[in-house]
Structure 1
Amino acid sequence: MKTVDFKHARGPDKLRVYAIGDVHGRLDLLQEMHRRIYMENEKSPPFDWVVVHLGDYVDRGLHSCGVIDFLINGQRKNHRILALAGNHEVGFVDFLNTGDAYGVFARCGGRQTGLSYGVNIDFNNELSVASGHEALKRAVPNSHLNFIRRLPRSMVFGDFFFCHAGIRPGIALERQSQEDLIWIRSEFLDDQRPHSKIIIHGHTPATEVEIRPNRINLDTGAYASGRLSAIMIDGPNKTFLEATV
């Protein structure tokens, strides 16, 4: 298998690729990052460009509904706005389907997502979970559900493979488990072997962008840190961007 390291990896010819880490309801930071991206494109216009969002748009932060609206509207206006599924989007839909009071949505920031849709759920109260589940099903627009359900788990551009969480080392990229792509952690993060592509991912918060020969982690805990991170890949050139407010 042919492998590549970050230093020598290249993006596609005539296509600038941006990727943005985990947003988690921070609409303000996402808007600022898009402003930064458009400024970069004005400063040095590319032949063409795309923006890949790496998932986890909902939970923890205060404006999950607004983030989904922003992405839907962005895609309607411009085919260059791309988005991948994260485990929190899957958990959100799972809760809407089942009302599970112990899933990732309930345990990891779903209350804030509910509030962004005007629904207050106390996950320590069975009656509140039951009534909140029904209210949230009514409150979430079909357009939001359709957007989430259609999100792909991975994309490839040039020497780069984009996904939310990572890959299972030793398995070909085209054979990766759909669950691993949004959930995997230590088996991927601790493996230093080169892959056939550089893996651009989020999912595991870090204090700074993690730059490794075989992977780049763009999750800098935006909902708590106030810092949303991105990478700009332009041929052989790789630049990191940060949005703060």
Structure 2
Amino acid sequence: MTADDERKQGMASLLDSDEFSLHEAIGGWRGFVESSLPGVVFVVTFLIWGGFRVPVVASVATVAIMVVARLIGRTPITQALSGVVGVALGAVWAWRAGDAGEYFVPGLWINAGYLVAVLVSMLVRWPIVGVIMALLQGRGSSWRKEPATLARYQWATALLAGMFALKLLVQVPLYLADKVALLGTAKLAMGLPLFALTLWAIWFLVRTPAHPEEPEAPLPPTR
């Protein structure tokens, strides 16, 4: 199981829970640090040294150290690997282009891809949040025949689309303006913190039981 798959499963189970856990949404404090630290190191080293080589090498080394620390501690490495794909893609992209700003390009494309997929799910009236909830609750496709339920899942999915759209609206102009430090900072701020806030809003919309309990039948009159 990849780290991305693990995070999606965690998100799905959290949506179906009775209480929202911020700790679980961000993968715990260690998970939060491990997901954010490579980006922090990249921005800091760029501000100090400039160029692209030192920031790229530093961010890759940070991920490697976190994985080794997990292995030494005999703890699961999936959480430490959560940012490995993004860091690896960004590192290769920046190294080949010889530009630190290119480090963020793969992430922009990934967000754009997610945004398109989420919008398509809404257009075909199979909102992704509804699909996830139906799988968790074993409802099949019956929820699509309930206008109120379908509308609620459409709104919840729209929040997810809004998250990806907001990232692009903020980060693409910074990339085009070659504001590497600001772009790195924006990506950090719009990473797990924004994800957790969006997940809370989605949970708030979908926490209404899919099948409200029927009122108990009145007791027969006593004689």
* TM-score, structure 1 as length reference: 0.27
More strand by percentage = 1
More helix by percentage = 2
The higher radius of gyration belongs to 2
